[in-house]
A and B are shown apart, each in its own frame.
Chain A
Amino acid sequence: MRMDNGRIILHIDMNSYFASVEQQANPFLRGKPIGITGKNQERSVVATASIEAKKLGVKTAMSTWEAKKICPSIILWPGDPEKYADIMHRFNAIYRSFTEHVEEFSVDESFLDLTEEAQDYLGATCMAQAIRERVSEACGPHITASIGIAPNRLMAKLASESVKPNGLTVVRPHEVLNLLDQSDLEDLCGIGHGIREHLSQLGIESFQQLREFPLERLMEEFHGYGLWLHEAAWGREVVQEPSHTSEPAKSYGHSYTLPFNTNDPVVLKRYLLGLADKVAWRLRRDGVAARRISAHVRFADFSGHGEQRTSIEPITDGLRLFKIAWQILAPFLQHAPVRLVGLTASLISSDPKRTSLFKKEQHMQSVLSSLDLLQHRYGSGIWKRASTLPVEFKSRSSGFRFDHEL
């Protein structure tokens, strides 16, 4: 567990990212409600709605027919992942030119720890403006971002989401409670619909009420997550993977529904590696190792394939998980475009040799270094580009409910 002592965190989030890139490329889409979809628009979802479409009620991950019903004038546009990846590469390089402490949170969202570089909130604000200018120069003026600056990631994200599009919201430590009291519970990354309902049953409808609710009772209701909620209500971030139960998990798994159906091995490798890293991180966080790996895919035609392998040696390494999973899946990928990939690690044993990376707060480092390793192994080319990009995981709590912890 880590508390934020005088840190300055910047959260930057591209506004309607895929849609904005298309509006940058094609001036005839500007100012119009557009929805970015998969190749097969009939049974696709809106991966990103333009700012104009959002104003008319279209939401991310809405089915295309629902979007059309709500907004008949919507222009459905097939997504171009290569283009989004190229642009993403540009803004991530800009972030890294400001600080080495960049955490890529999702495809179009990053956290920058500016504590050292900015020194104070004025400095951070100036940096935010400089970042925004450079992004605009490198990507085009129609690709905009919302920025929040606050003492931790949780509050920075809440701040950036409070003004969209193109907002810059600075929340200093003494303003944090104010921001919370102006926000709904569900605005906070980490309070999803289920938790919101649970809180409501306890009579908690606001952050103020959550703050005043006895911690012991929260812990009874939410176990370890109770502390996280309590601290969040005070504007503090307990750095801990949200988990509903304190019992040791018997298996660790993730599945991911792709934003676009594909059987491009490069794309699938990238997602699978992302899943493997997530699972590996959870194993290391809990100080355990796994000996059985199962991987599965679901195809666009709703068929699927899955198998498992058992290893003699306990595994905690994302790259090894990935390689085993890829061996399982690779022969079956030509069957049909894939719409979901999943990976589960089981036969769990404790792994006392390893120090918990969670305690050392270096989980991101490990994810990045294994990505780097893979990059070296596969050499340059598209894989290198792809593996340095953040895998497009939207957090379950960000509203893009494609990622499922198993």
Chain B
Amino acid sequence: MHELLNDPIDVIVSFKDNRVLPHAMRWNERDYKIDNVNLVHSAREGTKRVFYFSVSDAANYFKLKLDPELLEWRLVELYADG
């Protein structure tokens, strides 16, 4: 199941070596632990740069978007295995 969303989420992150690493997220009143950060890329959105984190837990793939100006995280894509 592949879904495109744009839901605000809460994320627990760490900062290390100029990198942001998401560890867990809260979406729809449920907590998800992030097991793997598979790919990080950035893109332009108008004049600003936003970051995308392609992450996964044991059953789901999530694409998270970080707006560094607003310090806002959103869940923009979800894929559940099977």
Contacts and interface: CB of A to CB of B under 8 A. Distances in A.
Contacts of A26: 38, 54, 56, 61, 79
B70 interface: no
A329 B52 CA distance: 32
Interface string B1-12: 010000000000
A140 interface: yes
Interface in A33-56: none
What bracket does the count of chain B residues touching chain A fall in?
Answer: 10 to 19
B16 interface: no
A379 to B, nearest CB: 11
B43 A25 contact: no
B38 A140 contact: yes
B40 to A, nearest CB: 9
Contacts of B54: 24-26
Interface in B27-82: 36, 38-39, 41-44, 47, 52, 54, 56, 61, 63, 79, 81
Given A27-B36, A28-B81, A83-B52, A385 B61 contact: no
Given A26-B56, A26-B79, A28-B56, A83 B61 contact: no
A86 B44 contact: no
B53 to A, nearest CB: 9
Contacts of B81: 28
A27 B36 CA distance: 9
A381 interface: yes
Contact of B61 (A28, A86, A140, A382): A28
A168 interface: no
Nearest to B60: A28
Contacts, number: 42
B61 A87 contact: no
Interface residues of A, number: 16
A301 interface: no
A336 to B, nearest CB: 22
A385 B42 CA distance: 11
A277 to B, nearest CB: 23
Nearest to B52: A83
A149 interface: no
Contacts of A371: none
Interface string A376-406: 0000011001000000000000000000000
B35 to A, nearest CB: 9
B74 to A, nearest CB: 16
A403 B40 CA distance: 31
Interface string A87-100: 10000000000000
A82 interface: yes
A290 interface: no
A320 B3 CA distance: 43
B64 to A, nearest CB: 11
A316 B79 CA distance: 49
Interface in A342-394: 381-382, 385
A390 B44 CA distance: 18
A30 to B, nearest CB: 10
Contacts of A27: 36, 38, 56, 61
A64 to B, nearest CB: 15
A21 B81 CA distance: 18
A24 B41 contact: no
B79 A87 contact: no
A24 B39 contact: yes
Nearest to B41: A86
Contacts of B56: 26-28
A122 to B, nearest CB: 34
A82 B39 contact: no
Nearest to B43: A82
A387 to B, nearest CB: 13
A381 B61 contact: no
Contacts of A140: 38-39
7 contacts: A24-B54, A25-B38, A26-B56, A26-B61, A29-B61, A83-B43, A140-B38
Interface of A: 21, 24-29, 77, 82-83, 86-87, 140, 381-382, 385
List the 3 closest A-B pairs by CB distance, nearest first: A25-B54, A382-B44, A86-B41
Given A82-B43, A82-B44, A87-B41, 12 more contacts: A21-B39, A25-B38, A25-B61, A26-B38, A27-B36, A27-B61, A29-B61, A82-B41, A83-B39, A83-B41, A83-B43, A381-B47
